[in-house]
Chain A
Amino acid sequence: MRLALLYVRSRHSARAVAGLAVLLVATWLWRHLSDGGAFNVALMITTLPLFGAAIVGASTGSAFGESEKTASYWLPILRVPHLAGLVVLAAAGLVVATTGWHGATIQWLLVRNLILFTGLALLTARVLGSGLAWVAAVGYGIAAMLTVPSDHIPTFAQQASQVTRWAWSLHAATDREAAVIATILLLMGLGIVGSAGAHDRPGDAT
């Protein structure tokens, strides 16, 4: 238990949890300020999960660098629960903040996109390091948003039926392909970063 706590501290988890608390408040505020229009919903289900995924991605950094790999303890058993726990916390925040709004659809869209973006962020952390883990997820989220018109379509459901195939983050809540791809990306990210850690240069993980 002590080891787990020390591990969590070394990953700046207090900051990450504070960030996720901000995410919860931002989601709650957005819900109350949003007009529920298609563009607004698309923006919400893109930016809020991106925010959560960026926090999880940045949490992959290790303050000890390569020296941590010499530890006798098998690190994946610490890394995977830590990252999965943050994903669960972020998802719970998104769900709680949107309870009773747009039914369960918006909640599932937020959680699915969190899973999708987190998967991308974890994979990027393995390539570019924890500090730049957000690049692919943010880039992809924005690229998907750029494929939708800003104000021509009244409802998100209509908009979701017209988006480009690769813009999975904007697919309808019932779209199985988007859910499968999100799950695969998260599992790959957890598997790869869980086993090998983020690719940080000394100092980048602060």
Chain B
Amino acid sequence: MSATLLRIELRRNTVVLLLPVLAALVWFSPTGRHLGTLALWPDRGIDLQNALQGMGPLFAGAAAWIAGRERRRGLEELLTTTPRSPWTRLLTMWAATTAWGVLFYVGVVAVVFGTTALQATWGGPALWPPLVGLLTMPALAALGFALGHGLPSRFTPALVAVGVFVVFSLGIVASHGGQSIGDLAPIVPSIAGSVWYASRPDLGLVQAVCLLGVSGVGLGVLGLSADGWHGARRVARAAVLLTALGIALTGASVALINSSQRDDGGVRVPFFGGATSAAPLPYVPVCSATPLPICVHPAYRAELRETALLLNRLAAPVLGLPGAPDRAAQQPVGDGGSGTIQVGQLGAGRTLTVLPIALHDPSAPSEPQWVSMMAMDLVATTPGQSDATFKAQTALALYLVRRAGEPVDAQWPFAQDPAVQAAARRFAVLRPGARQHWLRAHYWQLRQGNVRLEDLP
């Protein structure tokens, strides 16, 4: 590969023209949108793989367009008179295209990790996602080159771009549907997005093997189609070898992923060994110095103050009563004992609450839902035994939410019931002394589900 040729290819590469479009796609992808939210290293790593969903298809399409250049312009026969093999020329074009793609992706990684380093309060960067992303660029370029050179038409690049997008999207759909083959798509997170459990490298390894395989197949097929040169036999031998190696690697990755299982630590491939269960990560919780102390994982330190203020505002009327909670701690999902709190983003946006468990839980609640859940936890150890006792607990929880000045969740069961609303209003207008007296006498019974709506003052 000649350095001069590579320099020319780098200068004249179509990907340069598309860099602003690629940047816009990254900006509009979850990667760009998440830069302003709570910074968790695992999530930001996953965002780097998500970025491929936007930029990958266009990059592959551009590669297909570049690969068809010689045939499109009728230069192939003329170029057979040059001393270099067609494969070498194509590999130089591929290397230049890949270099621009990799350079762009490195820029994205630098921005995302640089921003996260300034924002995050715990942990460090996960290396598998950017590594998978970096390996995706040569693989997409090789795929685009193989198709663009084999089918040199102005229709090909568009179809390659749309095709790659469909494959990526179907990979995500299959992965969410529990079909492990979908995990091979490079936009499927190679790590578990959890600050609680150590992430296994298994999926990253398998994805890397698959991407190397696709690169091998793409470049090998490119060599097989680059005929018409006097040294064609030697080139063909190398191309066949590369194609076979690529097929073997891709096949191995399919076999490995088909044997995998998923848990809190991500994907486990038995072939790689490793622990059968996810290993919890050690951490020292950070706690608020409030009447009701709130302790969260240090990765969520940025949200501790706001969460502590909200929970304390909510819990103020019941604090200190017999049976009332005296501490709240953030726990991972699956360990849902009493006292578990779910800390979310309660920022100015006040839109969707992102729980620490949200990556595993597709039904992440909105902020009003979260507040109503917290309020119910404050007045109910066990849900009411009957509608009447559950309504009593709901009326008290509704009182707590309104007193705290928080919006009431429209979907909250029984909260829209006129009798419950009337009871909450009656309770709110009691004299403070009478209210405290009633709570002191009945709070324990209320939490146990032994107080009916009619029993409320």
Contact = CB atoms under 8 A, between A and B. Distances in A.
Interface of A: 12, 15-16, 19, 39-40, 43, 47, 50-51, 54-55, 57-58, 61, 128, 130-136, 138-139, 141-143, 145-147, 150-152, 202-206
A54 to B, nearest CB: 3
A58 B58 CA distance: 16
A56 to B, nearest CB: 10
A12 to B, nearest CB: 8
A47 B158 contact: no
B72 interface: yes
B317 interface: no
Contacts of B169: 43, 47, 145
B191 to A, nearest CB: 18
Contact of A55 (B28, B158, B165): B158
Nearest to A133: B158
B29 A152 contact: no
B158 A134 contact: yes
What 7 A-B pairs are tightest by C-beta distance, nearest first? A54-B158, A134-B158, A203-B73, A143-B28, A131-B154, A58-B154, A206-B72
Contact of B28 (A54, A58, A147): A147
Nearest to A201: B73
Given A146-B28, A146-B29, A132 B362 contact: no
Contacts of A128: 17
Contacts, number: 110
B84 interface: no
Given A51-B162, A206-B72, A142 B61 contact: no
Contacts of A50: 158, 162
Contacts of A150: 172-173, 176
B390 interface: no
Interface in B15-58: 17-18, 21, 24-25, 28-30, 53-54, 57-58
A121 to B, nearest CB: 8
Given A150-B172, A150-B173, A203-B73, A138 B29 contact: no
B154 A130 contact: yes
A141 B21 CA distance: 12
A151 B176 contact: yes
A16 to B, nearest CB: 7
A57 B158 contact: yes
Nearest to A50: B162
A203 B72 contact: yes
A204 B72 contact: yes
A132 B153 contact: no
A132 B62 CA distance: 8
30 contacts: A12-B153, A12-B155, A43-B169, A43-B173, A47-B166, A50-B158, A50-B162, A51-B162, A58-B155, A58-B158, A61-B154, A130-B154, A131-B154, A132-B14, A132-B17, A135-B58, A138-B158, A142-B53, A143-B28, A143-B29, A143-B54, A145-B165, A146-B28, A146-B54, A147-B28, A150-B176, A203-B72, A204-B72, A206-B72, A206-B153
A161 B21 CA distance: 27
A136 B161 CA distance: 12
A132 B16 CA distance: 13
A146 B53 contact: yes
Interface string B143-169: 000000000111101110110011001
A174 to B, nearest CB: 24
B81 to A, nearest CB: 19
Of listed B17, B57, B74, residue having the most chain A CB within 10 A: B57
Given A131-B65, A132-B14, A152-B362, A138 B28 contact: no
